[in-house]
A and B are shown apart, each in its own frame.
Chain A
Amino acid sequence: MSRAQGLVSWLTTTDHKRIGLLYFYTAFCFFLVGGLEALVIRAQLAQPDGHLVSAETYNQLFTMHGTTMIFLALMPLTASFFNYIVPLQIGARDVAFPRLNAFSYWVFLLGGLLMNASWVAGPLFHAGQLNVAPDAGWFGYANLTSRQYSPGPNIDFWLFGLQILGVSSLAAGFNFIVTILNLRAPGMKMMRLPVFSWMTLVTSFLIITAFPVITVALVLLMFDRFFGTHFYLTSAGGDPVLWQHLFWLFGHPEVYILVLPAMGIVSEVLPTFARKPLFGYTVVVYSGVLIGFMGWGVWSHHMFAVGLGPIADSVFAATTMLIAVPTGVKIFNWLATLWGGQLRFTSAMLFAIGFIALFTIGGLSGVTHAAPPADLQQTDTYYVVAHIHYVLFGGTIFGLFAGIYYWWPKMTGRLLSETLGKWHFALMFVGMNLAFFPMHLIGLLGMPRRIYTYSPELGVATLNLVSTVGAFLIGVGVLVFVWNVWRTRTRGQLAGNDPWGGATLEWTIASPPPVHNFDVIPTVASRLPRWTKTQVKAIPAGAELAEFHVPGGSIWPLVTALGLPVLALAPLSHTLPLAFVGAAIVLLGIYRWAFEPFEV
């Protein structure tokens, strides 16, 4: 990594490793914020008739919890690994467009800050209370979001925050597609790519196709709220269901955007700690690609309760059951990878195995939603909340923590403590099941989601208390992890190039890698270069290294990114001049960026 010190070196960095770390720390802070929101929600629901927070604040809490976790924590945490690990895995010196990469990060940071500013922006809008956070749920159904029913700035923060975050994701999507297709080391054929890089590629394609759709949905909502159109208003012939179609057309691919990277991580961790090549590499890759395609054909299963008619319901029920097949194929491949391996139960391995178990449970409850008659009983109950958390917490978060323990030594040069790691895993595994398994029952017993309090007669008080205890156990687990990171800074064991005996290219170089990653770009002759006899050759002593150019930094991606929240503030505050200021900043940034003397 670059040795330059000081704030400016970070503000102008275009080094994919530094940007990866920036993504990690920022996203982890947002993860803590989203987790705190979840804990307040669980504290409120611990007992019947809880009144810790008002109904209004409760709505804001669950909306921001969902939005923060999905767009500000999970996606950017996966982006942190895309950034840090993918160029190392494919044998590249950086991503294809280093400045665009910096731009993605800054836009993400600013979009996240703008959205979270709504927690304290109340006084600016004379709202009569401090918090004016978005409050219509993370999928913001029309017409809850119309000006009529939500006159305050709450939805506007959500609307513009998400549009800004979309820019960040799209830019990163283009960047990683080109990086993976174009910057592979000699001999790194597509079917030699590590599975994590493959899943990054599939995810990036999903991002660049899914985000334009939500952008259109949000733009139409913006016109409804600011310019008096009737896209989602029945009074003038419009249809709120259009929002649902556009949102879930994006929303279901988004589920795979969140989970495919975790599947990629698990496919790296399991072989390393089972000392066996991944079972059925080709099948795992192709089922990932297939999931990417099929993810586009299932969106209406989020809408069975709308009443789309028996034909639409049957078709989407069938496609939804079908998509379980490639997912199941992957699970069997992972199990077969473990079979007969020399298993080492490191923290990374435990989280990866936890992923398989919990994701399978989440997948199974998902298949129960696939049948419309069953789904009608489950829609908008805690059963759905249980499902999404088994998939996104048991799945994505466990996968991400597997990746964190696995790649932390590569990213920082020091190994996280295994003892603390195992405590972290145990607390999180038990906490997660305590928190979310009872939700299946709570939901089937009839408790709707997004209800700020409930009466004792419902008979779900004990289950809710158990769930709350579980949520706080998860919180303790996260604290153990934070402590682990903190003490590893100075006391962690030095990692060396390859603490695990990994098979892929990132383990051939120093930890953390030098700014240019590879002294000599390796020539790859196998899918598991470090496990085959023809592995990457060491550089012969005395060999002269070819010259290479390491790009300098640039401030212009940050300047361009700064223009976007200024643009968003114009409609938020109903101040037209701000729009011109924002546009001027963006234009200035783009022109200076385009004409910068800069070589990649």
Chain B
Amino acid sequence: MTNAATTHHTSTGLDSRKMAFWAFIGSECLLFGSLISTYLVYKGRSVVGPYPHDVLNIPFTSVSTFDLLMSSLMMVLALAAVQRGDLKWAKVWLAATALLGILFLCGQVYEFTSFVREGLTLRTNLFGATFFVLTGTHGAHVTVGVVWLLTLWVRALQGKLTAANALTVEICGLYWHFVDVVWIVIFTVVYLIQ
């Protein structure tokens, strides 16, 4: 890993990798925007059940939402630790972020399997199709984030995550917070406003 880019002068003063990542997040907004729009367009148009109110478990999902929000807090702490060169706490907070991410994914696996047991699959109706594709795409993003966090954690264990490459953690954090914010929108649109 190098961070030659941080030492280079750029026209805007903003690091190139960070700028690229912000552009990537902008692009991702359109991706999730299209999926959420599809969900909204097809809301209430399923011709057979189960319908959202039959299967959605708001208390359970509230807990996993809280879990994901807490992971964002851990991410902030991890970045702060890396920035002040505190490798010990960086390891702890990175591991905690990844663990909470894994916990969220476990919740999603549990949720998906219980829906399937209640008779809701991709093919059942439009609700099933739009729900699984939207939340599944989000879950895939969380999975990528967990792999990324674990990679950083291993780098920290190897002692190679120093304050000089805090930017790599910061960019991972941007991604993690973005995925978190998307979940808040999905939670609101899919679960809370039925």
Contact = CB atoms under 8 A, between A and B. Distances in A.
Interface in B97-136: 122-123, 125-126, 128-130, 133
Most chain B CB atoms below 10 A, which of A175, A188, A230, A599? A230
Interface stretch (B21-29, B53-61, B76-84, B183-191): B21-29
Interface stretch (A38-46, A72-80, A211-219, A446-454): A211-219
Q: Which of B27, B42, B151 has the most CB of A within 10 A?
A: B27
Nearest to B13: A182
Given A96-B16, A177-B23, A237-B126, A182 B10 contact: yes
A331 B130 CA distance: 45
Contacts of B28: 212
B86 to A, nearest CB: 23
Interface string A52-63: 000000000000
Given A177-B23, A181-B11, A594 B1 contact: yes
Contacts of A543: none
A229 interface: yes
B23 A236 contact: no
Interface residues of B, number: 37
A25 interface: no
A212 B34 contact: yes
B18 to A, nearest CB: 9
Interface string A167-189: 00010011101100111100010
Interface in B1-55: 1-2, 4-5, 8, 10-12, 14, 16, 19-20, 23-24, 26-28, 30-31, 34-35, 38, 41-42, 45-47
A230 B42 CA distance: 11
Nearest to B160: A595
Contact of B27 (A211, A237, A246, A598): A211
26 contacts: A174-B23, A177-B23, A178-B23, A182-B12, A183-B16, A184-B11, A208-B23, A208-B24, A209-B26, A209-B27, A209-B30, A212-B30, A212-B31, A216-B34, A216-B38, A220-B133, A223-B129, A227-B123, A228-B122, A228-B123, A230-B126, A237-B46, A237-B47, A237-B126, A249-B34, A599-B2
Contacts of A591: 151
Question: Which 10 pairs, one residue from A and one from B, show the smallest C-beta to C-beta distance?
Answer: A212-B31, A216-B34, A229-B129, A212-B30, A182-B10, A228-B123, A208-B27, A184-B11, A599-B4, A237-B45
B19 A181 contact: yes
Contacts of A173: 23, 27
Contacts of A208: 23-24, 26-27
Interface of A: 96-97, 170, 173-175, 177-178, 181-184, 188, 208-213, 215-217, 219-220, 223, 227-231, 236-239, 242, 246, 249, 591, 594-595, 597-600
Given A229-B129, A236-B125, A216 B31 contact: yes
A213 B34 contact: yes
Contacts of B11: 181-184, 188
Given A208-B24, A217-B34, A228-B122, 19 more contacts: A96-B16, A177-B23, A183-B10, A209-B26, A210-B30, A213-B30, A213-B31, A227-B122, A229-B133, A230-B126, A231-B130, A236-B46, A236-B125, A239-B42, A242-B38, A242-B41, A594-B1, A599-B2, A599-B4
A180 B19 CA distance: 11
Contacts of B27: 170, 173-174, 208-209, 211-212
A597 B2 CA distance: 7
Contacts of A215: 31
A186 to B, nearest CB: 8
Nearest to B48: A236
Contacts of B1: 594-595
A220 to B, nearest CB: 7
A449 B4 CA distance: 55
A548 to B, nearest CB: 11
A242 B23 CA distance: 27
A469 B35 CA distance: 46
A177 B125 CA distance: 41
B33 to A, nearest CB: 8
B14 A182 contact: yes
Given A174-B20, A216-B38, A220-B38, A598 B2 contact: yes
Contacts of A237: 42, 45-47, 125-126
Nearest to A217: B34
A97 B123 contact: no
A584 to B, nearest CB: 13
B23 to A, nearest CB: 5
Contact of B5 (A174, A230, A600): A600
Among B30, B38, B130: residue with most chain A CB under 10 A = B30
A442 B1 CA distance: 61
Contacts of B151: 591
B4 A600 contact: yes
A599 B2 CA distance: 7
Contacts of A598: 2
A177 B30 contact: no
A595 B2 CA distance: 8
Nearest to A210: B30
Contacts of A231: 38, 42, 126, 129-130
Contacts of A219: 133, 137
A242 B27 CA distance: 20
